[in-house]
């Protein structure tokens, strides 16, 4: 039988790869990177047979021609490889992935999209790069739409996570499963609501999201320039409050946020916290251990790492 042995929430930023030398908050950056490496060792010590990898869409695998709220990879998986992240085919635990899809969909628990040829971006591959380096463990990728409104509600994310948790535990073969959530914490990306763009840059971004399926790299230089020109909008107070909820086993309170409330509090990038909520729900909301929190303006993001370990539940 499958057993869930560890949960991880970790922020991501491709600017770690492309602008490390230009990062002036070097001590903060090194502490965050070291926390990722320490988490990788925790994952290795858990001896996983498979990793459920929850991440977001950044318009390199999903486009405005079709945006499901949730898409489970059940076959081939390719990473786009942008900004120094892993590229090409990724190993998938197809048997576990197809079991999850069947249990969740055919069991009437949730209407979930799936893909037998999924393309992921740094919403998942950043975690593969830093948290799974050298571990040779297959993934089951789940892409959550957090950047193309209307977005799935936090409550709906929780409902899917609970269904997935039950489906994991019903898998009849032996599997030690780690659940990783990639994304967050507070940050504001210079990305428009595609339904109402304003100005030349926002028009360009929406056009890239419409037309980029076959040629996303053609748009990437200007897209990168727009992102690099953005000013950081990090909220350490919000981030620490969220991490406190995880540490005290109260992460379920995230499910009460609306999309607009969260964006007002922590920026559009904080919508990625849907993946953290889902991970915590799968882990049955056990208390977490905070390994790092750093506000790094050069990366535009509040960078956090937390681990949920059933074997060493923290006491508070």
Which residues are catalytically annotated?
A: 122, 187
Respond yes or no on whether the N-terminal peptide bond of residue 150 is cis (omega within 30° of 0): yes
Q: How far apart are CA 44 and CA 33, in angstroms?
A: 17
**Residue-wise DSSP of 125-160:** HHHHHHHSTT----EEEEEE--SSSSPPPHHHHHHH
Contact present, 146 and 183 (Cβ < 8 Å):
yes
Residues 6+ away with beta carbon under 8 Å from 120: 55, 61, 73, 77, 78, 79, 80, 90, 141, 143
Distances (CA, A) of 257 to 157, 251, 254, 266, 310: 11, 11, 6, 12, 26
For residue 173 the two structure tokens come to 């073969």
Q: At what angle do helices 94-101 and 154-169 cross, to 10 degrees?
A: 120
Whether residue 134 contacts residue 174, with contact meaning beta carbons closer than 8 Å, is answered with no
The span from the CA of 155 to the CA of 254, in Å, is 8
CB atoms within 10 A of CB 200: 8
* Residue 141 structure tokens: 């990728």
Rounded CA-CA distance 281/266 in Å is 21
CA 22 – CA 12 distance, rounded (Å): 17
């Amino acid at each position: 039988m499958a057993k869930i042995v560890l949960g991880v929430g970790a922020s991501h930023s491709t600017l770690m790869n492309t602008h490390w030398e230009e990062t002036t908050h070097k001590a903060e950056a090194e502490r965050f990177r070291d926390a990722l490496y320490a988490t990788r060792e925790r994952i290795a010590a858990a001896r996983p047979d498979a990793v459920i990898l929850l991440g977001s869409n950044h318009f390199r695998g999903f486009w405005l021609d079709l945006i499901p709220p949730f898409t489970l990879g059940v076959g081939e998986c390719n990473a786009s490889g942008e900004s120094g992240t892993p590229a090409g085919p990724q190993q998938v635990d197809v048997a576990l992935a197809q079991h999850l899809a069947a249990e969740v969909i055919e069991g009437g628990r949730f209407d979930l999209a799936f893909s037998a040829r999924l393309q992921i971006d740094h919403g998942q591959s950043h975690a593969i790069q830093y948290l799974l380096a050298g571990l040779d463990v297959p993934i089951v990728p789940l892409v959550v739409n957090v950047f193309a409104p209307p977005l799935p509600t936090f409550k709906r994310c929780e409902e899917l996570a609970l269904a997935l948790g039950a489906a994991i535990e019903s898998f009849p073969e032996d599997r030690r499963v780690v659940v990783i959530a990639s994304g967050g914490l507070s940050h504001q990306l210079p990305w428009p609501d595609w339904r109402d763009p304003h100005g030349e840059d926002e028009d360009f971004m929406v056009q890239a999201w419409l037309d980029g399926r076959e040629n996303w790299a053609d748009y990437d230089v200007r897209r990168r320039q727009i992102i690099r020109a953005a000013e950081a909008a990090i909220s350490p107070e919000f981030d620490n409050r969220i991490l406190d909820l995880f540490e005290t086993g109260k992460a379920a309170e995230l499910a009460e946020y609306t999309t607009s409330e969260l964006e007002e509090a922590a920026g559009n990038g904080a919508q990625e916290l849907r993946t953290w909520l889902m991970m915590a729900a799968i882990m049955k909301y056990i208390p977490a251990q905070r390994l790092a929190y750093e506000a790094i303006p050069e990366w535009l993001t509040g960078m956090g790492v937390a681990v949920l370990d059933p074997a060493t539940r923290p006491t508070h």
